[in-house]
Amino acid sequence: MNDSAVPAPAGPIVVGTDGSPHARHAVLFALREAQLRATGLRAVCAYDYTPARYTSYGWMAVPEGDGGLYEQLHDVARQAVTDTVHELRQQLGGPHVEVEIIAEAGRPAQVLLDASKDASLLVVGTRGSGAWGRLTLGSTSTEVVHHAHLPVVVVPADSRGAPPDVSEK
């Protein structure tokens, strides 16, 4: 009988991104971590463009029967994430990381939590700014930290407001 345990393969790293500079920092962190762990990356963009969200405020009417609008929004979100990941992966270099791109309508925190069910790590950025903002997390970060079933890394915003520099290792 052999008592040595065979390590289970690590699940992917999930990173939330919305195209903001703060999210770019999170994606860069997640790419580096995926390289170190020799695992895949799942880049997730959640967008909330539902008729109920906008018509409940009474200021915007959603065109009837225009399913193309929702499809177009999905395609734009997916392409933005694909472009960001590709650019940062090229800048970072190093070992190749397999990346799965997910763009899904819904509340960002819930979409991230659902996408991380088989993950080994969840990475999100924070939008804290100013003296007070640096002490707090954004609403998505806070919800993810409180409800996640796995380790979470909240990547702080760069205090200089600069885009991520891959040379800072």
The reported pTM is: 0.78
Which architecture, in CATH terms, is 13-155? 3-Layer(aba) Sandwich (3.40)
* Confidence bin at 63 (pLDDT 50/70/90): low
CA–CA distance, 46 with 14 (Å, rounded to integer): 13
**Residue burial 103-131, b: 16+ Cβ < 10 Å; e: rest:** bbeeebbebbbebbeebbbbbbbbbbeee
Alpha carbon dihedral 113, 116, 117, 118, in 10-degree steps, equals 180
Q: Is 9 helix (H, G, I), strand (E, B) or coil?
A: coil
Distance CA(102)–CA(158), nearest Å, equals 25
Render pLDDT for 86-129 as a digit per residue (tens, 0 to 9).
999 999 999 999 999 999 988 899 999 999 999 999 999 987 54
Q: Is the pLDDT of residue 32 over 90?
A: yes
Q: Where are the domains positioned within the chain?
A: 13-155
Res 130: pLDDT: 43
